[in-house]
Amino acid sequence: MDELSKRYNPGEIEDKWYSHWLGSGHFHSTPDDREAFSIVIPPPNVTGQLHMGHILNNTIQDTLIRRARQEGKNACWVPGTDHASIATEAKVVNMLREKGIKKSDLTREEFLTHAWEWTDKYGGIILHQLKKLGASCDWERTAFTLDEDRSAAVLEVFVDLYRKGKLYRGKRMVNWDPAAQTVLSNEEVLYEEEKTTLYKVKYKIAGTADEWVTIATTRPETILGDTAIAVHPDDERYKHLHGKKAIVPLINREIPIIADSYVDMAFGTGALKVTPAHDINDYEIGLRHSLEVIDVLNADGSMSPAAKLFVGLDRDKARKKMFGALEEAGHIVSTEDLIHNVGRSERTRVVVEPRLSLQWFVDMKAIAAPALKSVMENEIAFYPENLKNTYRHWMENIRDWCISRQLWWGHQIPAWYLKSDASGTNDLNNEQVFVGLTVEEALAEARKITGRHDLQTSDLHQDEDVLDTWFSSWLWPISVFNGWRDTKELDYYYPTSVLVTGWDIIFLWVARMIMAGYEWKNEKPFKAVYFTGMVRDKQRRKMSKQLGNSPDALGLIEQFGADGVRYGIMASAPAGGDILFDEKLCELGRNFCNKIWNALRLVKSWEVDASLPHDDSRALAIRWMRARIQSVNTELSRNYEQFRLSEGVTSLYTFVWDDFCSVFLEVIKPAYGEASDPKSYEETTQVFEEICKMLHPFMPFITEEIWHQLRTRENGEDCMIALLSQQEPSIDPEVIDTFGHILTVKSAVLELRNQYQLSPKETMALVYPSEPELIRLWNIPGTEAVLTKLANATCAQGLGTGVSFLAGKYQYYAALTIEVDKEAELKRMNEELDYYRGFVSSVEKKLSNEKFVANANPEVVE
């Protein structure tokens, strides 16, 4: 009755067990008197698709959560999604454009209706995909950063910070994304070296016939917004120009020539054009010298009317046109290539524009201190530890966080202004702001501050902007437990046990969560952070849609099985180190599944004959197996403690493949056509069960299947919730030694057979020494054991020619029916001898000096 297929087929088995687990309620957690082990998922974008980064990240989390469950802890893994303000809004805008609808033609409400439709349609797909991976999340707790509870938390936090004076509205130079048409935080701008052109342009000195000053710029189109030329005060070349005026080319506007020590004399020509509206440094120079600010760009990056020329033209096109016009007018002195850093938007990849604008900021210095301290003092442990330095550097130089975004998809800022007809001013910069959880609260505030009790809510208008997505996700570890409404769950699950995320969002997310934790709970949000590396392709490129080098994650699961993919990604994922993804790894995982599967087939094929005795060789193998399980378990626990998961899974791989399959099962299995004795069968089943438990967190599906194949189980007796056995700390060194010796002999024999190309069918006689005693218990495939005492390395009588070899400290003799290559043998033996001689001399040398006396190794030689 061979009902098991020759190959492991993951498909149906995975679906079967996942729905079984869902039905069993094993994933769900509620507070009780057990120790809590909690993880909050780094929420993927609500409309995202599963990619390799998710697979890596979530496999690690699932492994940790499943292990905790086995340890008897109350494990809770909270899933959810992020509304991903910019990314989602961009997708919706694109979708609408394809339908011929322009965002600008819609009201905010109409747009949000579309966005919610989109979210309802695609949202949660990724959560479904996580289920395919085997993620044992508590789905009853699924949260969304834009749902009611999470939104309430965001508003409360905003108002709280404002009232504590840690949040302000201010006019600053910010990073503007002209494609998304919103401001970005510093962390959302990525700098990369790019090749551009440095233009040297000459400006005429006012009041002279033919006197010029030459500046260097990469952005000629901003010349139209120049309001000064700056030179270094000590620069001898330009001292005569101090206080004079220059004429902006093409538009003939007069601008002052000023002296400012910011200017680098060595760069370019030593003369700098100053455009306060479009460069942070120029802006600061402008402040020092009270310069006019002329903004020559529109929000979309096209030239504004203030530019006077090329109005409406995109900045890149305007640059080319400007160059042409300047050249024609004879203002171009020269051009040269320049490599410099260009900031691009993380989301849209367009070049970010520095822009002066009125935005909301969090005063980070006011909340950073406890968060820095806790990490530096290992209150929160970082894995790998060296990321602490990066963290410290950022925290110590922290800058204010711009949290407003000119978008609609997100949490609208709970700030209200008096409508212009009510405030009597049209100057937006001087608007009075009233912050509150609701418009009523804001109104009360407005009445109080203005003293005008006639004001109504209709006199107020709410800030149009929404908050940065990270302003909701920094609350995630608190908000998923509804921490602002009721702290019962929070008290139990918080701080969470570990956060698993990529190091690329250490500032965007991790650091801010830590700050939020201390600001509102006066407690860390997690005890440890496991930073994963980035998943890259074989050429070390980051996986991205643009490159198309990202494998189809679901396709991989389809192809290799979830357990195979999990194994593949885990085996190569040390904390912090990048992983070069190769499908081969998943193949390895699939093959491993198949190996385990076939071990099951073997065991299941045995008939048990109750009358058979339990022989010594099998008893020895069982003793050895038990000892191995114990040491592997100890090692595994240590690996978990230090989050060395790839080492953990790799050691299980070699243990199962080599020790369990190649050695143990080979001894235990009954000879062909024979049955197993009951004790061997039972012991094997128990060993297999132990293996299932050890392997389960890494490969949950196949282990659950095997667990149920091994025995008939009561309902609910699942591998997933089977507690790890307590291993008694005793060890059995003798059995490890003996077995080690046996394996040495075995491999020596196999090597010999290989060398003489003996077919597996040909048996050969092997002469054993009478010591050690246990060796005779072992049957080496293709050998016939002849137990005798070997003296003086002579051939055993009647066995014909053959070769002798050493294994450990004992000598063996293998009889061969074919001609022995005497010279080769001699050579081999001499090499062996040399090796041992060298070995002995090195040992002896050591013994003469060493503090610690070595053990009995010198015996080896004789």
Partner RNA sequence: GGGAGUAUAGCUCAGCUGGUUCAGAGCAUCUGCCUUACAAGCAGAGGGUCCGCGGUUCGAACCCGUGUACUCCCACCA
Of residues 488, 493, 523, 525, the one with CA closest to residue 509: 525
- Closest listed residue to residue 596, CA positions, set 673, 652, 672: 652
Q: Position of tokens 């005008």? A: 452
Among 658, 524, 531, residue whose Cα is nearest residue 599 = 658
- What does the block give as tokens for 334? 């020269």
Among 252, 290, 429, 757, binds RNA (CB under 7 A): 757
In the set 24, 197, 214, 281, which binds RNA (CB under 7 A)?
A: 281
Per CB under 7 A, 252 contacts RNA = no
544 contributes a contact to RNA by CB under 7 A: no
Q: Is the peptide bond before 772 cis (omega within 30 degrees of 0)?
A: yes
Interface residue with RNA, options 280, 364, 543, 724 (CB under 7 A): 280
Structure tokens at 400: 């204010």
| Dist. CA 590–CA 604, nearest whole Å | 21
Can you tell me which of 505, 602, 608, 675 binds RNA, judged by CB under 7 A?
A: 602
612 binds RNA (CB under 7 A): no
Q: Of these, 51, 67, 91, 219, which contacts RNA (CB under 7 A)? A: 219
- Binding of RNA by 862 (CB under 7 A): no
The answer to the question of residue 590 lying near RNA (CB under 7 A) is yes
**Whole-angstrom distance, CA of residue 80 vs CA of residue 819:** 72
Binding residue for RNA, selected from 128, 584, 711, 827, defined by CB under 7 A: 584
DSSP symbol at 184: E
Residue 151 tokens, joined: 């939104």
Please report how the helices 52-70 and 553-560 are oriented relative to each other, as an axis angle in degrees rounded to 10: 60
In Å, how far from its chain's centre is CA 832?
Answer: 49
Burial, 517: exposed, middle or buried (Cβ in 10 Å; 0-12, 13-18, 19+)?
buried
Q: Decide if 440 contacts 379 (C-beta within 8 A).
A: no
Of residues 64, 92, 599, 691, which one binds RNA by CB under 7 A? 599
Stretch that binds RNA, among 120-128, 368-376, 481-489, 646-654 (CB under 7 A): 646-654
Work out whether 444 is an interface residue with RNA (CB under 7 A). no
- Residue closer to RNA, measured from CB, 89 or 188: 188
Contacting residue, 107, 252, 341, 611, with RNA by CB under 7 A: 341
Beta strands in 309-364 (DSSP E): 332-345, 353-362
Judged by CB under 7 A, does residue 236 bind RNA?
no
595 near RNA (CB under 7 A): yes
Amino acid symbol at 329? A
Quick check: 172 binds RNA (CB under 7 A)?
A: no
Contacting RNA within 463-492 (CB under 7 A): none
Interface with RNA (CB under 7 A), residue total 85
Task: Name the one range near RNA by CB under 7 A: 76-84, 369-377, 751-759, 817-825.
Answer: 751-759
Q: In the complex, what is the shortest distance from the CB of residue 344 to RNA, in angstroms, rounded to a whole number?
A: 11
Binding mask 505-534 for RNA (x = CB under 7 A): --x---------------------------
Give the footprint of RNA on residues 342-361 (CB under 7 A). 343
Taking CB under 7 A as the rule, which mask of x and - marks residues 670-709 in contact with RNA?
--x-------------------------------------
Between the CA of residue 376 and those of 226, 389, 642, what are the distances in Å?
A: 46, 9, 18
Site for RNA (CB under 7 A): which residue of 143, 375, 516, 593? 593
Distance, CA of 739 to CA of 506 (rounded, Å): 49
- What 3-state class would DSSP assign to 409? coil
Within positions 650 to 669, which residues make up the interface with RNA, using CB under 7 A? 650, 654, 657, 661-662, 665-666, 669
Judged by beta carbon, residue 386 or residue 438, the one nearer RNA is: 386
Among 186, 214, 357, 811, binds RNA (CB under 7 A): 186
Assigned token pair, 369: 């201190």
SS3 362: strand
Tokens coding 430: 């001087």
Choose, by CB under 7 A, the member of 425, 458, 544, 605 that binds RNA: 605
CA gap 231, 214 in Å, rounded? 11
The reply to whether 721 sits near RNA by the rule CB under 7 A is no
Of 696, 686, 621, nearest to 659 (Cα)? Answer: 621
**Virtual CA dihedral for 433, 437, 442, 444, nearest 10 degrees?**
-140
Q: In angstroms, what is the minimal distance from the CB of 26 to RNA?
A: 27
Residue 502 touches RNA, criterion: CB under 7 A? no
Does residue 647 belong to the site contacting RNA (CB under 7 A)?
A: yes
Of 36-44, 307-315, 400-408, 847-855, which segment contacts RNA by CB under 7 A?
Answer: 847-855
* Residue 351 burial (CB count, 10 A): 17
What's the Cα-to-Cα distance from 533 to each of 550, 580, 663, rounded to whole Å?
Answer: 16, 10, 36
Of 456, 457, 462, 842, the one binding RNA (CB under 7 A) is 842
| 825 binds RNA, rule: CB under 7 A | no
Task: Please give the angle made by the CA atoms of 169, 399 and 180, to the nearest 5 degrees.
Answer: 65
Q: Does 729 bind RNA (CB under 7 A)?
A: no
Considering only 108, 163, 237, 393, the residue that binds RNA (CB under 7 A) is: 393
Cβ proximity of 495 and 523 under 8 Å? yes
Asked whether position 270 contacts RNA by CB under 7 A, the answer is yes
Cis ω for the linkage preceding 769 (within 30 of 0): no
Binder of RNA out of 104, 760, 792, 823 (CB under 7 A): 760
Q: Which stretch binds RNA (CB under 7 A): 56-64, 96-104, 584-592, 816-824?
A: 584-592
Q: Please, which of residues 563-582 interact with RNA by CB under 7 A?
A: 572, 574, 577-578, 580
Shortest distance, CB of residue 189 to RNA, whole angstroms? 8
Amino acid found at 233: P
What would the two tokens of residue 619 be?
């008893």
Closer residue to RNA, CB minimum distance, 440 or 751? 751
Q: What is the 3-state secondary structure (H, E, C) of 189-248?
A: EEEEEEEEEEEEEEEEECCCCCCEEEEEECCHHHHHHCCEEEECCCCHHHHHHCCCEEEC
Please identify which residue in 43, 256, 268, 414 interacts with RNA, judged by CB under 7 A. Answer: 268
Work out whether 588 is an interface residue with RNA (CB under 7 A): yes
User: Closest separation between CB of residue 114 and RNA, Å?
Assistant: 33
Name which position in 24, 406, 591, 617 contacts RNA (CB under 7 A): 591
